[in-house]
Structure 1
Amino acid sequence: MVGFQVRRYRAGDAEAVKEVFTASMSEHVPSGFLHMLRQPLAQVLLASVVCALLTASRSPVLPALALALLLAGGRWLAGYIFSRYIEVCLKKDLGHIQEAYMEREDCCFWVAESEGRVVATVACLPARTQAGCLELKRMAVRRSHRGLGIAKALCRTVADFARQKGYRTVLLYTSVVQKEAQSLYESLGYSRIGEVVIPETVARLLNFTLIEYRYELLNGVDGKRKFAAAEG
């Protein structure tokens, strides 16, 4: 079994962190595209265009071509949404990890390392919208190292850090299309609280939401036992 260790971020990890995060987020483009196709607005648009062209041309060729172009455009749009998100993250906190996490109170950034290589990341900081809560952020694991318990170890690291700092709750947000992440958090005892609408127009139209999860911390040994039981 491949071993790994969780440690705090060091300056030399910067490029590896960006690579892991970019690769992890880019994987969700296909599921994002499928999510778009399931939305009533997209289905109505596709059906309307195909029916209108079929009626006007009386030939299946033009409607088929239009459908192919619309699907290609939708696939590009899904890629754009994730690419834009990655770009913003890399310019903001992931471009300045030392300042954003390591030099601020109650913030931290960790990596999981395996055979000298950074294979996963996670971070946390005080939640801006909810006092007394610590927010888990930037969870990403290389596909080649999933299924080894790395994500669970990183979640446990954040929970321990939050407990040490006196926080009672860890919260996080994950997109509606990240099904594996949702299953992970729920298996660890996180409760699904609700959904948050992304303010961008395209995201609203396509019902692309963020799901909020919360984990209520217990103190000391009891808290660690609860987390361990959830892992098992």
Structure 2
Amino acid sequence: MADYTIRVYKNRDYNAVRLLFAEGMLEHIPATCAHLLKLSRAQFVLFISFITLLLISGSYLLSLVSLAVVFTAGRRLITSEFHRYVDECQREDLLDIEESYMASNNSCFWVVESNNRIIGMVGVQAAPRSGEVMALRRLSVARDQRHLGIASALCQKVIDFARQRDFKVVTLETSMIQVPAHKLYEKLGFQETDSRIAPSLIAKFANFSILTYEYRIKE
């Protein structure tokens, strides 16, 4: 059993929480690039780029180098999109965690502490304009502390919190590339209820989906 403690967020955790969130999100860049390269449309663009450059230059080496430049540019575009999302979140609810999660009876934020280090976190808020739905948000566990049951314990913390306040549903959003997270949610009893393409141009090109999962709390 991992030696850790789940406790309510305190202001001294602010920087650690924001850093943990950023690190967790930026981890998904390689998987997103790999997903993009598997798409037929991306392969077609690379193929056409290679053939065009080959016809213009007459050099296989120059064409391959140029193709590598195109790939690098694509990776940088994806990286910038992830950084943009992190910055956006850190300007929204993670800008003032105390106000966003601790000021209401129907919201809360927990951190996981081990050896004076924050290794996990999760937040929950009542969904807007709903008296029955709570949203699980910002679930993250440090990379070197996974597979110890921490994420499962944090999800259960949110479910218990919602049940105690007579909410009927816990909802969350995750990306299509976070397959281990999907398996965790489904093991806990969450069900996928919706899927939509993220709004940015690169996400639309990559067919990058955001999935919604729901857990219905039993009476």
Query: Match for 1:21: what amino acid?
Result: F
1:215 to partner: Cα distance: 0.8
1:19-41 deviation line (CA, Å, top 9, x unaligned): 11111111111001112222233
Equivalent AA in structure 1 for residue 87 of structure 2: E
Aligned partner letter, 1:116: N
CA distance in structure 1 between the partners assigned to 2:2 and 2:162 by the alignment? 28
Alignment of 1:182-193 (within 5 A): 182-193=182-193
- Residue in 2 that maps onto 1:111: 111
Q: Which runs of 5+ in 1 are unaligned?
A: 220-232
Inter-partner Cα distance in structure 2 for 1:175 and 1:59: 40
Partner of 2:145: 145
Contact in 1 for aligned 2:196/2:210 (Cα 8 Å): yes
Cα contact 2:174–2:211 (8 A) shared by 1: yes
User: Residues 8-47 of structure 1 correspond to what in structure 2 (within 5 A)?
Assistant: 8-47=8-47
- 8 Å contact 2:9–2:110 — kept in the other structure? yes
Q: What's the offset of the Cα at 1:149?
A: 0.7
Aligned counterpart, 1:75: 75
Q: Deviations over 1:104-130 (max 9, x none)?
A: 241111111112221100001122376
Number of the residue aligned with 1:100: 100
1:165 corresponds to: 165
Between stretches 36-45 and 98-107, larger displacement belongs to 36-45
Tell me by how many angstroms 1:131 deviates: 5.6
- CA deviation digits over 1:163-207, x for unaligned, max 9? 011111111110111112112111211111221222222222221
Q: Deviations over 1:72-116 (max 9, x none)?
A: 111111211111111111111111000011002411111111122
Deviation by residue 1:134-184 (Cα, 9 ceiling, x = unmatched): 111000000111111110110000000010111111111101111121121
Kindly state the Cα deviation for residue 59 of structure 1 after the two structures are TM-superposed.
Answer: 2.2
Please name the residue that 2:85 is paired with: 85
Amino acid at match of 2:124: C
Q: Which amino acid aligns with 2:55?
A: T
Match of 1:194 in 2: 194
Provide Cα deviations, 1:39-71, integer angstroms capped at 9, x if missing partner: 233222111111112233332112101110011
**Aligned partner of residue 181 in structure 1, secondary structure:** helix
SS at match of 1:128: coil
C-alpha separation between the residues in 2 aligned to 1:149 and 1:195?
A: 27
Aligned residues: 219
- What 5-or-longer segments of structure 2 have no aligned partner? none
The alignment partner of 2:21 has SS state of helix
Q: Could you tell me the TM-score, scaled by structure 1's length?
A: 0.89
Match of 1:230 in 2: none
Alignment CA distance shift 1:5-1:66 (3 Å): same
One-letter amino acid of the structure 1 residue matched with residue 148 of structure 2: L
Aligned-pair RMSD on alpha carbons? 1.5
Whole-Å Cα distance in 1 between the matches of residues 194 and 51 of structure 2? 37
Q: Alpha-carbon deviation of 1:212?
A: 0.9
